Structure formats: C-alpha cells, structure tokens
Structure 1
Amino acid sequence: MPSVVLDGDPVPASGELPAEALAGLGGRPFGFYVHVPFCVTRCGYCDFNTYTAAELGPGASRADYAATAIAEIRLARRVLGDADLPVRTVFFGGGTPTLLPAADLVAILRAIGEEFGLAADAEVTTEANPESIGPAALAELRAGGFTRVSLGMQSAREHVLTVLDRRHTPGRAAAAVAEARAAGFEHVSLDLIYGTPGESDDDWRASLDAAIAAGPDHVSAYSLIVEDGTRLAARIRRGELPMPDDDVAADRYAIADAALSAAGFSWYEVSNWAVEPAARCRHNLLYWTGGDWWGVGPGAHGHVGGTRWWNVKHPAAYAARLAAGDSPGHAREVLSARDRHVERLMLELRLDTGFPLAEVDPAARPAVARALGDGLLDPGAFRSGRAVLTLRGRLLADALVRDLT
C-alpha cells in the first residue's frame, strides 16, 4: 500500500520537479539552505526540527551527516539539470550547525560550489550558539569561504536565559562577536528574543545595550512565541510562568527600534536591522522576494518556480532515502497564482521597500485607504506608489496583511 501523505502531494522518488517550476530557472536568484538538526539540549521554547544525541536513535549520526547532505546536493544538481545556477547565498541553520566540525561545514559548502558554482560575491552564513563556536573554528570557517555568522544571543540577563533554557553566560555572545571579527568576518549578526516571562523593560534595554556594544552590523529581534508541544508551553499551562503579553511585546519592539535606530541601525524587515545595505541578510531577502532555493537536510523546505517541498523529518529516514538513491522529499505543493500573490504581498509588505500599490487587489483598496488613514502606511511612500509600513504598521503587520488579502 502506498504511504499516505497528509499534507501535500507525494514527491517522486527521483525528486523530479514539474516542468513549469523549471521554466525560468536561472533567471531568479538561487540559494541553498542547509539544515543541521543537532543540538546539545533542546531549548524550552523551540519547536524546530532538532535532535539531541539521545533522540537520534540508530541510522543517523553527526559523524555521517556531511556525507549525507552532500548526497542531497548532488541529487539537487541532477534534478535541476544543466541550468547555469551560480549560488548567490548559502545559509546553514539549525539546530546548531557549529556542533559539526568546521571541516564538515566547509566540505558541504565546497560540494555546493563544485556542483553549482558560487557567485563571486556569494553570501555564506552559519548560525551558531555562542558557546558552540570559538576562535579556531571561526578561522577555519572564514578560510573555507564563510562570509557571515549569526549568533544566538537572545538576552544579556542570566535569569532570562535560564527561562529560555539557553546554556551560554550573558557575556559569551559579545566575546563570540569579537572572535568572529578577529577571524576576518566582516558581517556578524546577533539574534535577540523579547517578551520572555520574567523579563522587564530594563532587562530588555540591557540586552539591547549589550548587543549594540558588542559591535555586530546586524541585529534580529523576535517576539517570543509560545509553541504548542514545547516545554515552555507546558510550564505556562501549569501556571509556573505567565503567558507573554501582546501589549508588552509591542512596547519592547518600540524600545528595540528606538535603541537600534539611535545606534545607527536601520530596519529593513520587520524583525531585522542593519547598519548598512551590505550588512543585510541577502539569503533571507532571497526568501522574502520570491527567489529559488534548495533546502538540504531533514525537514528542510525548498522552493523553485512556485513549487515548494519539504523533506522527511527524522535524520535516520533522511539518510536512508539518500542511501537508496532516492529523494528525501516528503511532500510538496504547487502554488497557484493566487497563492503566490498572497505570499508575495505578505512578505514584501514586511520590507522597507514595501509592496506596489498598483498590484493590490481592487477589492482590498478600501483597506489600503483605511490603513493609510490609521497611520499604518507611510504617506510619502504612498504618494510614490508603494505601501510601506510605519512603526505602528510594523506592530500591526499581520492584521494588515489579512485585511489586504
């Protein structure tokens, strides 16, 4: 009996994509996302597809992971054919990519370059927990072609890190930024989380001050989301911790925008600030502007020409598929023209460049006028034909997108 795919259509064993997805291949920016699903421990708020050593079970290991990921890269080359596809961005995410030896990450990057070629100015990023990286590994990654590192700082307050189940000490992220700079990384990002139970406004300001003082050229700040099935959700359900408050989160966002703007950072996406255009995360911009990318790894998502697919989740199942010469794809969907329009509006509206007013559905234009009147859209950009969010609009972006679609 064939397996039942509950979310999407089956992916052929060959990984073959529809002909319409391949049309125009090479005319759109192309990148790779490499998912490394390993963590030392599972953070209480995290619902990503990650595994500790005890959770892996037989059939998968960190030691074999680079070879398995390279097998998928070679599969990608077969599926995408002979199209000239210089890779503009590569992003190693997780999990904790830097739990793998730096040599393994460099080998995966080298395989992408051998199969597809890297653009001369390719951006190559790895995420890292501050405690999982040090000077030697950073130097090896930089020498191997990595250009950017994104460090999960989250907070500068120890009691906040404890609630989040983060293992690093408050000062470790700043030290890791300095080590990355010494290794030759021009672009270093810090990730922060606001709205953690027990965090005060002063705690959040201290985290922002510490992040800015560390000297990154990019900061991401995300509101804590309580995901079902996580340890954090269970603690809140039992009454051990309070549920994060939306109004508090809005205040924290405004505090972040003010502090980062005063320090010379400019927002370019609702949750992201950079000191200059060159410091923006080009890989994420590829996602947000409808580019193509191949997602490598268990649970990774890919997208080419309006077809989106996702891999089997468990590392053992992923490795078994590739060992058999098959695609690790679990399911896929072909986006309709309407789906693609809605996604484009949803993503581009979050950018500082906004969305062209001429492409808003006629039925949604009264909602656009209301948004302008309510102070959610920038009047100057509006007069130039673009819907660009104000600070108030950024706080209400999700609701505004619903009104416009």
Structure 2
Amino acid sequence: MPSVLLDGDAVPASGELPESALQGLGSRPFGFYVHVPFCVTRCGYCDFNTYTAAELGPGASRADYAATAVAEIRLARRVLGAAELPVETVFFGGGTPTLLPPGDLAEILRAIDGEFGLAPGAEVTTEANPESVDPASLARLREGGFTRVSFGMQSAAGHVLAVLDRRHTPGRPAAAVTEARAAGFTHVNLDLIYGTPGETDDDWRASLAAAVEAGPDHISAYSLIVEDGTRLAARIRRGELPMPDDDVAADRYVIADEMLSQAGFSWYEVSNWAATPEARCRHNLLYWTGGDWWGVGPGAHGHVGGTRWWNVKHPAAYAARLAADASPGHAREVLSADDRRVERLMLELRLDAGFPLAEIASPARPAVARALAGGLLEPEPFKHGRAVLTLKGRLLADALVRDLT
C-alpha cells in the first residue's frame, strides 16, 4: 500500500457505505485484502505503508495485530449487512505478513470465514519474504487454510539485491519454493523487479532463469519505479546511482516475455505470467475485473459497488479507532460512471482477454484504428470485437489507455 493518503470525503464513524454501493452486493465477486504493515527492515525502493519495530510507538503491537484485524472484519460484516457474500479470494500483503506467527494469520482467516464464509475452492494467498519462512511455518500456513504463497525474489544477482536493500541471499527464494511445494502449496509465485541501477541484461536473464528453475507456477515481473521519499530516490538525487532508463526497461520486458514464454508461461496481465490457467492469481483478477473487496489494516484500500475508501495510515491510529468501535476509514470517494468506465478500460485492457471494442467511446475510435495500424492491437481478436494488446502494445499500454479515454 502506498504510504501517501489521498484526500476524499469523510468516512462515517460507523463505516456505513452509500446506498449506491450496496446495490447489487453479492452479484459481483467478493474478496478480502489484509494488510500486515510490519517489516524487519525497510527496503530502499519501497513506498508501501510499512514499519519497522523502531518506527512503531505505543498501541501498535505486532502481538495484538491479529485481534485488531479481526475487529475490522466484524465491522465489515456489520457494514455490509446480511447479504450472502461468499469470499472467493483473500490476499495477505504487506509489509511482510509472515512476520506474524502462522497461527495469527490463520486466526484472521478464520474470522473472515466465520463472518462471511469462504467460497468452495477459495484462493488464499500470503506474501512472504524468502527468509521469513521455513518448512515448519509453511506447513502451518497450509494447515491453516492458505492455498497460495508469493515470494519476493526481486533478483538473483547479489549486487542488485544490495541496491534494493533486500536482505535475502541469492538462492534462498528457490529453496523457499521447494519448501512451499513440500508443505502442500500447489500455487507459488515469485516476484521479480527489473531495471535496477547497475543491473545488466545478463543479470536479468540469470534472474529469470533462476526463477523458472525454482519451479513456481506463476512469475510476476515489474519495472522498478523510483518513488519520492525513498532511500533509493535520495541516492539517485545525490548522483550515487543513475535513474532507471525507460528504454532499458522496455528491453528487459521483452527479454522476460521471451524467456518465460519459452519456459511454458503465458502472460495474462501485462506484468504477470502463469504456467496454467489455474495458476493465475484470482485475487488480482478480482481487482482488474471490477469485483468488490474489503481492505483490512492500516492504509488498506477497499472497494464496493463504485465506492472506494482507505484506512488511516499508522498502525497505532488504526488500532485506536477499532478499540473505540469506530471505523478506521480515513476517507473515501464515490466514483462517477465516467470514472468507472475509464478505470475499467485501464485495467481490462492490460489483460489477455482485452476490452470490448463496442464499449470504447466514439471519439476514441480513430485512436483504436491507429493502434491497430501501428501494431499495438492483435488483428484476430479485433475482428471479433476485442482490443487485445500485442507485445508492442503491452510496452505502450499506459499511453494507449490515455489515447482511448
């Protein structure tokens, strides 16, 4: 979760949602995002809402966090009323969720199941740093109902990890994948980052090869973004490191798509590749296709029926709100029909299924024709009424969305 909170309308102390948000509740996929804001150290590139022990004051105990999160889950049930809302996906992110004991994470999951009910075959994911788990903790997570684990690998090159301030050693992510498989996890993801200052094409190829060799069924690859306020941004500003180059990033993306495709992975979202359809991250697909979700935790965002809200940022303030039986919501916004249309285009166009041509506004039709002529859209799906990105189109997806809106 980004560390800067946006302005918006006030959230009532009860957490009550507008009537418009509750219309159609239960007809759309529903999930939970659980933000665990704790980290051993803060990575130099990270702008998420995370805290080390030294940054936390009174009222923000890691030991009490599960009980506080459960209180928000109970608030969610009150706010959403009696509607049948089987939870299709749960995603524990951070921070490092696995800094909490497996029993605490399972307690939070049990509360979601108890208040809402997990749908049959629900996907339950936790992020983890490779060094924050071991065979015993992974086994307890699997026993506690988790079905998927996502490890932050970033790179196989030690000097790249050092620039990113990552603490694990090269080779540990592969060992963690093996341990997760042994614990019974069918679905395992590795996250990679490309474009780090000092990374070479050979470094990137080696990282991709190591990720594939580790045996996950899902790989995510993201271009490094230099966020204001991070240590990495400060080092670049002082001239210690060069700013990542967009052309280099584009070349690295092409390398990733080529190597992952050759290894049997298929892209289904611009930054995500899966070995099988079943390996796709269903929680992220819920986000990308306009589902509903409740965000639990400090700084977490939720969305129901076109209303989006975000919680207070600091864990102590978050805990204090819930201790007072009040919503931890900081602010919210009700998206207009036009906002929702643009957001849907922006997200769905990044998927391999693409976006319906018939739903692109008439003024943007010339831009669609230019995109097809310029090789940004696949010709065959276009004939069947879908705008689906080519590899070149994926490299220019953000610019294309602007043209089409």
Q: Distance in 1 between matches of 2:245 and 2:134?
A: 36
Q: Distance in 1 between matches of 2:12 and 2:152?
A: 36
Amino acid aligned to 2:204: W
SS in 1 for 2:302: strand
Amino acid aligned to 1:377: L
- Offset at residue 58 of structure 1 (A): 1.1
* Alignment partner, residue 59 of structure 1: 59
Q: Distance in 2 between matches of 1:346 and 1:6?
A: 20
SS in 1 for 2:332: strand
Q: Does 1:364 align with 2:374?
A: no
Q: Does 1:291 align with 2:291?
A: yes
- Offset at residue 343 of structure 1 (A): 0.1
SS in 2 for 1:308: strand
* Structure 1 residues 154 and 313: CA distance shift in structure 2, 3 A: same
Q: Does 1:162 align with 2:168?
A: no
Kindly report structure 1 stretches of 4+ aligned residues shifted beyond 3 Å. none
Q: Does 1:44 align with 2:44?
A: yes
Q: Distance in 1 between matches of 2:101 and 2:82?
A: 32
Alignment gaps of 5+ in structure 2 = none
Q: Does 1:187 align with 2:195?
A: no
Alignment gaps of 5+ in structure 1 = none
* Alignment partner, residue 342 of structure 1: 342
Q: Distance in 2 between matches of 1:88 and 1:391?
A: 31
Matches within 5 A, 1:2-401: 7-401=7-401
Per-residue deviation, residues 2-38 of structure 1 (Å, max 9, x unmatched): xxx9710000000000111001000000000000000
SS in 2 for 1:63: coil
SS in 1 for 2:63: helix
- Size of the aligned set, in residue pairs, is 401
User: Over aligned residue pairs, what C-alpha RMSD do you find?
Assistant: 0.7
Identical positions, percent: 85
Amino acid aligned to 1:245: D
Amino acid aligned to 2:86: P
* Structure 1 residues 234 and 6: CA distance shift in structure 2, 3 A: closer
Per-residue deviation, residues 352-372 of structure 1 (Å, max 9, x unmatched): 000000000000000000000
- Offset at residue 339 of structure 1 (A): 0.2
Amino acid aligned to 1:22: L
SS in 2 for 1:371: helix
Q: Distance in 1 between matches of 2:355 and 2:70?
A: 37
Amino acid aligned to 1:130: P
Per-residue deviation, residues 296-333 of structure 1 (Å, max 9, x unmatched): 00000000000000000000000000000000000000
SS in 2 for 1:62: coil
SS in 2 for 1:255: helix
User: With structure 1 as the length reference, what TM-score do the two structures score?
Assistant: 0.99
* Structure 1 residues 8 and 203: CA distance shift in structure 2, 3 A: same
Q: Distance in 1 between matches of 2:402 and 2:80?
A: 35
Q: Distance in 2 between matches of 1:277 and 1:342?
A: 27
Amino acid aligned to 1:317: A
Q: Distance in 2 between matches of 1:134 and 1:377?
A: 44
Q: Distance in 1 between matches of 2:14 and 2:204?
A: 49
